[in-house]
Chains A and B, each alone.
Chain A
Amino acid sequence: MTKINKELLKGSSDIMILKVLADGQLYGYEIAKRIKQLSDDVLSMGEGTLYPLLHRLEADHLLESFWQEVGGRKRKYYGLTKRGKKVLAEKTAEWSSFTKAIHSVIHS
């Protein structure tokens, strides 16, 4: 498995979280698992990155949350707000342009 530089991961963490939550509401542990699963184990978001980012995105009103008591545990589920969906679309377009440009330079 190729080890990815943490600096590269930093700039893409928020778009990954927004994208994963676009498919439905998930709680923190599920979000980390989904990112790992969708990236074929290449990308792994640690708890030290994940939770502060979730809370920051919620404070910026890109995410909203609710608690639910399930099987004796209190789980905090996150979902995208309307603003979050809009920002995801913008960031996805931005990321596509960026990766296309990088790809063009590297493979020229």
Chain B
Amino acid sequence: MYQFIDDELSCHLADCVDDLVAQGASVEQAQVEAKQKFGDELAIRTELKRLHPPLLKIALCILTGCALLTGLALFGLVYFKSDSLLGITSQQLLLRWCFFAVIALMVLLDYWVLQFFGIKQRQATVLSLLLTELVVLVITVVLDINNFEVAIHNAIFGLIMLGAMWLLWQHLAWLMRRLTIYGTSVVMIVSAELQRPLFNWVLPHPCLYVIKDDSIPLTGALTHCQQVQWYQPILWLLYIIAAVSIVSLIGWVIQLWRNHGTQLSRKLAVSISLALLSLAPVMTHGINNHGALDIIPWERDIYTAYIEILGRAPQDKDIQFYATTKAYKHLSKVKTVLYNSPERYQKVKQVLQEISGKTPSQKQINYYAHSFMSIEQIRQDYLAKTKS
């Protein structure tokens, strides 16, 4: 918790030793003399610790711990209760948790970049924005591998902010530089996560769909998009940024590992974070080719509709159908189809038969099947009528 005090005082001692060695003392003599000149190290550390009450750090630790436990709990519910409403709701919450976790991780990586290079260096801004651009590209690939208009908008926004900061660098206070870097990163990540292009009112073709073969017609929700071949110039900006980002970040990680002053935990955390970022598109490859992540916010509604109308949870093939066709965007039509489906008819017939013990009449089945009552409501209503 007070590592920053130890770092500052250790650096002072090391500088003092260097000066004494430069004046002709041996390293051992210099170390002894430096410690003598320094005075009561323990008293100085105690005084500095007294000036920095740990409340904020403790609060931050508790908050981080709670966030991690929440994520773990949600993951557990999703894994073990996947077929229930609780599991489906947890899936939505877990997606939101992941969004916030990515934003927090991004701000933390920016903070580490700034700490490594120092806020005086423009290089810190460049690397920080390149890192954000790369994360935006990863999010775009994970969430929707073919729609890159958000990534293009973010790339342009990032370049504008970088240019502005570069020109105004000397006029910006340190705090302003930090806030601008963090703010830019947050805006870009949120735009990527919500898949909302930043400059939709400026660029003439808001929806791009990247393909390898231009003979496939775009259908359904994609008909308003413009087909773009992967090699077309509009995407070159993204390829250049991705290449420059990857090379720069690898360079930074190498510098980090070579730097004796950086803690091992920081080196590992940065390396693992960047490795996970690179692997994320590979690990999630294919998930969103079938819209599996897009449908998560809608799954609860579909689940509720199936339980009410058909008396069962949707199966995996049902979810896949809605995910690939994006039919979930027209939920009222989906419900109409379910109400008029043969499956509902059979389910209503089964429920009436279970309650009365005999085959219900066609009139009774049609009455309940074409009503907008849920299966449970039908059960209660028919039970009451049968008893009376």
Q: Chain A: residues with CB nearer than 8 A to chain B?
A: 25, 27-29, 46-48, 51-52, 55-56, 59, 64, 66-77, 79, 81-82
Contacts and interface: CB of A to CB of B under 8 A. Distances in A.
Given A66-B118, A82-B173, A55 B261 contact: no
Contacts of A28: 8, 11-12
Interface in B17-52: 38-40, 43-44, 47-48, 51-52
Given A29-B15, A66-B119, A73-B261, 6 more contacts: A47-B39, A48-B43, A51-B44, A69-B259, A77-B118, A77-B120
Contacts of A51: 8-9, 12, 44, 47-48
Contacts of A71: 261
Nearest to B177: A66
Contact of B120 (A47, A66, A69, A73): A66
Contacts of B11: 27-29, 73-76
A67 B118 contact: yes
A33 to B, nearest CB: 8
A46 B39 contact: yes
Contacts of B15: 29, 73
Interface stretch (B56-64, B109-117, B154-162, B219-227): B109-117
Contacts of B48: 51-52, 55
Contact of A52 (B51, B114, B259): B51
B52 A55 contact: yes
B39 A48 contact: yes
B372 interface: no
B8 A76 contact: yes
B327 interface: no
Nearest to B43: A48
B174 A79 contact: yes
Q: How large is the interface on B (under 10, 10 to 19, 20 to 34, 35 or more residues)?
A: 20 to 34
Contacts of A73: 10-11, 14-15, 260-261
9 contacts: A51-B8, A51-B48, A52-B51, A55-B52, A59-B51, A67-B115, A73-B260, A74-B8, A76-B4
Contacts of B14: 73
A92 to B, nearest CB: 22
B213 interface: no
Contacts of A74: 7-8, 11, 261-262
B38 A47 contact: yes
Given A28-B12, A51-B44, A81 B117 contact: no
A28 B11 CA distance: 9
Given A52-B48, A55-B52, A69 B262 contact: yes
Nearest to A64: B174
A83 B259 CA distance: 35
Nearest to B52: A55
Contacts of B120: 25, 66, 68, 77
Contact of A47 (B7, B10, B44): B44
A55 B51 contact: yes
A30 to B, nearest CB: 8
Q: Which of B7, B11, B38 has the most CB of A within 10 A?
A: B11
B39 A52 contact: no
A72 B260 CA distance: 4
A59 B52 CA distance: 9
A82 B9 CA distance: 27
A30 B119 CA distance: 19
B175 interface: yes
A69 B116 contact: yes
Contacts of A70: 261
A47 B173 contact: no
A76 B260 contact: no
A56 B12 contact: no
B7 A48 contact: no
B186 interface: no
Contacts of B40: 48
